Amino acid sequence: MKRKAILLAALILSGCSREFVEEHVYQVDYTTTNRFANNLAPLPGQFTKDTVAFDQLMNSFSGQVKRYWGDDDALVASKRQYVKYTDGYQSRAHVDFERGVVIVETVAKTEPTAHLRQAIATTLLTPEDPAGVDLYSDSDIKLDGKPFLYGQILDQEGKPIEWSWRANRFAEYLVNAKVHTRNERYHKVWYVEIPMVADHADKRGYKYASIVRDAARRYGIAEDLIYAIIKTESSFNPYAVSHANAYGLMQVVPNTAGADVFKLVKNKPGKPSPEYLFDPARNIDIGTAYFYLLRNRYLKDVSNPTSLHYSMISAYNGGTGGVLKTFNADRKRAMNDLNRLQPNQVYWALTNKHPKAEARRYLQKVTAFQKEFQQGKL
Active site (catalytic) residues: 233
E-strand ranges in the chain read 81-86, 91-96, 101-106, 180-183, 188-195
Which residues neighbour 8 within 8 Å (Cβ) at sequence distance 6 or greater? none
Rounded CA gap, 130 and 143, in Å? Answer: 12
Q: How far is CA 115 from CA 85, 121, 370, in A?
A: 12, 10, 43
Helix ranges (H only) for 178-222 are: 200-206, 209-219
CB 148 within 8 A of CB 126: yes
Rounded CA gap, 137 and 203, in Å? Answer: 28
CB 114 within 8 A of CB 91: no
Rounded CA gap, 377 and 365, in Å? Answer: 15
Rounded CA gap, 336 and 333, in Å? Answer: 5
Which three-class secondary structure state does DSSP give residue 34?
coil
